[in-house]
Structure 1
Amino acid sequence: MTEVLLIVGLLVAVFVGYNIGGATTGPAFGPAVGANVITKLMAAALMAIFFFLGAVTIGPQVVDTLGQELVHDTGIFTMRSNVAVLFFIGGALFVGNYAGVPASTSMTAVGAIAALGLATGELNLSVLGEIVVWWIVAPIIGFWVAGVIGRYFYPQINAWIAIDSTDTDGPPMVSVDRSGIAPRLQFRADGDRREAVGALVVIGIGCLMGFSSGTSNIANAIAPIYGTGDVDMLPLILIGSAAVAIGCFTIARRTLDTLGNDITNLPLTAAIVVAVISSVIVIGLSWIGIPASFVVIATMSIIGLGWGRATRTTTLSEAARGEETPVSVGALTAEEEGERSPKIGEEEPEDIPKASDLFDPSTTARVILMQNIVPMLSTVGAFLTFQFVPIFGV
């Protein structure tokens, strides 16, 4: 019976990994796909590779936190309870993926595991408190770092980026040439050297995001099973990463469309800045064993970047005199990639577009709604199951 439950647990873990692949590929490579830099197929392949690298290097720290430290007694991770925990994690993420919304996999997983600990009286409140504190602090850090970059460095970065993100009808800027003995990258014939360098930067940032996702999200698929002590860490990482790869090549197409085309007209420059800030924060938190929500950090970074860019209409001396600065996230669309911005204080507030010019209101509302509903489904469903369904009692 134990072996049967172990097999079932592994299958459910694969289901969770599959949905993680679907939920995380969009945030990582949505900008590159939306700008027609690479195809969805190449995005899936790169995501699978770099997710695994992050999972096998830094990921074990987060696995230890969720599988060993979040609860006082790891004996509650029975195979029966693991199947339920992983079912609620995977089921909730599947709801988000089906809706084309990349939900927070870390919040969804922590919620389900914490629900098990709460229902059994084994929840380690100090560890949960540390995780929640970082969930609050990390987006604030992202906001302020992005704000400083938006005010003082965004124009220089934007002037350097020169990729036409509107040319989505032709072939992708970067593709793989398989005509030779070994495959190699090739660039679109009408692209110049500057565009080629910019394309490589965009792809590199996506790979960094894939790596950061692996460091944090591998634990969401395998931590409950690792907590039982029945399976070693490395085989679980291999299984989880393979499942993520399947999700990257299949259901991720929905979130790639949402993040690359539907939700926002976020300029490529802004997408690069947000990706770097969010990825570095996530990797840093994973290094200390904290499962981080990339989606929330990235959202606050976008807001901070837009706020910083909008404040360029006012100098510090003018602000000290009490002059009001109209602030809008839409400021990020004030110029095209490769175009220089006016110096601080030289731009007129009416030159700053409204936020509605950047975000599609209906799609944005759907994303925000689902990003809150998905973790809630996982947490509440798991708690009610462990509290009131005897078969899953531990």
Structure 2
Amino acid sequence: MISALLLVGLVVAAFVGFNVGGSTTGPAFGPAVGADAISKPAAALLMTVFFFVGGWTLGRRVVDTLGRELVTNPDIFTLQASIGVLFFIGLALFVGNMFGVPASTSMTAVGAIAGLGVARNALDWAVLGEIATWWLVAPVIGFWVSLVIGRYFYARLHRIIAMERTDGDLLTVDRSGAVPVPRPAETTTRRELFGVTTVIVIGCLMAFSSGTSNVANAIAPLVGSGALAMNPAIVLACAAVGVGAFTIARRTLETMGSDITELPLTAAIVVAVVSATLVIFLSAIGIPASFVVIATMSIVGLGWGRATRPVSVPDAVRGESEVPVSVGGLAADEAGGDEVPGIGEEEPDDIPSAADLFDPGTTARVVVMQNVVPMLATVGAYLTFRFVPIFGF
């Protein structure tokens, strides 16, 4: 029979997974829903399936890192401590949503566990140092890869990927045979079908990457405490994510779908591929990664690369990049001499300046909050686990 305390732990873990599903489904499938490629229920179903695949495969490596390797003595993960850690993760999600900035659940989970480890003198500083190093390196890699893409390859990618949806349904169901078969509608073009397929595949890739990293945030403390085995814990987290994807994620899907003009389809795909690839790599080596932070720096890098095409790097650093983006020199050869659509612009002939591509003030606010929220969780967890008598310290 499940004890009352374990039941509370399962409920809190499910609450964290529920919020993860609500906050990550929009970024993963918002472009697909906004392009009328799939419906919201279909997006939620794909999110649930591929999150589970990511969590079941690479995700358990991150669970081991957070639940067993980050602390030198896993016995400190009592049920009370596990519930406390999960509480701080859930609180971080709430605070981030209140400020309109999605908090990094991975960074917050590591912070809360680190606070527990310091309070009990059981933190493995070497493991924490490795995690922190990758947290610094991965966003920088995402920034520079996206910058290079934006500076040299964005125009070519845009011509390949960009699409306009025709009126009517994308697919029809052929019921002439024994088994109904979906086929492209008569009005559907090959370019449209390719673009729609691309955004759906990218959404599945993002859902998979989210599962590899975020499943640990909901269950690592319970697994580390031995109160719950790995496989049932993963199933619990993924089921909770699915509930969140089918319920509260509908609003984030609407937001991401309606706001897609602020980040065109081509830019959204570039950011998603770069960010998801880095997250999957980090999860494969057991490092909990923040998709939000990496994606933010990828967006900035892509915008910076697009904005500085006609100027040299030293001029860009000195802030002399307010020249409207045009294509010239080597870039003109790669783009075929055509003008390139700017990020946030629908018409290729309407070319933005550097200031139009990303707002430094908004970027600074997002980056600051994404670091402040995990810090609050770390300090709060340390003070709680160190001085609150109910935790036995």
TM-score, normalised to structure 1, is 0.84
Q: What SS does the aligned partner of 2:157 have?
A: helix
Matched with 1:131 is 131
1:221 aligns with 2:227: no
- Provide Cα deviations, 1:200-220, integer angstroms capped at 9, x if missing partner: 001100100000000011110
Cα distance between partner residues in 2 of 1:233 and 1:360: 43
- Provide Cα deviations, 1:136-183, integer angstroms capped at 9, x if missing partner: 000111111112212222111111013238x9xx77757999999878
- Provide Cα deviations, 1:61-96, integer angstroms capped at 9, x if missing partner: 100000001111111100011111111112321343
Cα distance between partner residues in 2 of 1:224 and 1:162: 44
Matched with 1:110 is 110
Which residue of 283, 287, 290 maps to 2:287? 290
1:62 aligns with 2:62: yes
2:382 alignment partner AA = F
Measure how far apart 1:221 and its partner are. Answer: 0.5
1:147 alignment partner AA = L
**CA spacing shift, 1:70–1:301, aligned 2, 3 Å:** same
Q: What SS does the aligned partner of 1:312 have?
A: coil
Matched with 2:382 is 383
Measure how far apart 1:196 and its partner are. Answer: 1.0
Measure how far apart 1:357 and its partner are. Answer: 4.0
* Runs (4+) off by over 6 Å: 174-184, 318-325, 344-351, 360-366
Matched with 2:44 is 44
**CA spacing shift, 1:392–1:268, aligned 2, 3 Å:** same
Structure 2 portions without partners, runs of 5+: 343-348
Q: What SS does the aligned partner of 2:309 have?
A: helix
1:390 alignment partner AA = P
Contact 1:118 1:383 in 2 (8 A): yes
Contact 2:307 2:357 in 1 (8 A): no
Cα distance between partner residues in 2 of 1:378 and 1:108: 6
Measure how far apart 1:55 and its partner are. Answer: 0.3
1:255 aligns with 2:229: no
Cα distance between partner residues in 1 of 2:310 and 2:380: 48
Contact 1:313 1:344 in 2 (8 A): no
> Which range moves more in the overlay, 80-89 or 48-57?
80-89
Q: What SS does the aligned partner of 1:289 have?
A: coil
Q: Equivalences for 1:311-322 in 2 at 5 Å?
A: 311-314=308-311
Cα distance between partner residues in 2 of 1:19 and 1:323: 39
Matched with 2:345 is none
**CA spacing shift, 1:175–1:53, aligned 2, 3 Å:** farther
Contact 2:31 2:260 in 1 (8 A): no
> Which range moves more in the overlay, 272-281 or 183-192?
183-192
Cα distance between partner residues in 2 of 1:171 and 1:374: 45
Matched with 2:11 is 11
Matched with 1:79 is 79
- Provide Cα deviations, 1:13-44, integer angstroms capped at 9, x if missing partner: 11111111112112212222233332322221
**CA spacing shift, 1:319–1:329, aligned 2, 3 Å:** closer
Contact 1:311 1:326 in 2 (8 A): no
Cα distance between partner residues in 2 of 1:329 and 1:31: 30
Matched with 2:89 is 89
Cα distance between partner residues in 2 of 1:100 and 1:152: 33
Q: What SS does the aligned partner of 2:36 have?
A: coil
> Which range moves more in the overlay, 51-60 or 96-105?
96-105
Matched with 2:119 is 119
Measure how far apart 1:115 and its partner are. Answer: 1.1
Measure how far apart 1:387 and its partner are. Answer: 2.0
Measure how far apart 1:4 and its partner are. Answer: 2.1
Structure 1 portions without partners, runs of 5+: 336-340
**CA spacing shift, 1:329–1:320, aligned 2, 3 Å:** closer
> Which range moves more in the overlay, 347-356 or 247-256?
347-356
**CA spacing shift, 1:237–1:328, aligned 2, 3 Å:** farther
TM-score, normalised to structure 2, is 0.84
Matched with 1:148 is 148
Q: What SS does the aligned partner of 1:58 have?
A: helix
1:194 aligns with 2:191: yes
2:212 alignment partner AA = T
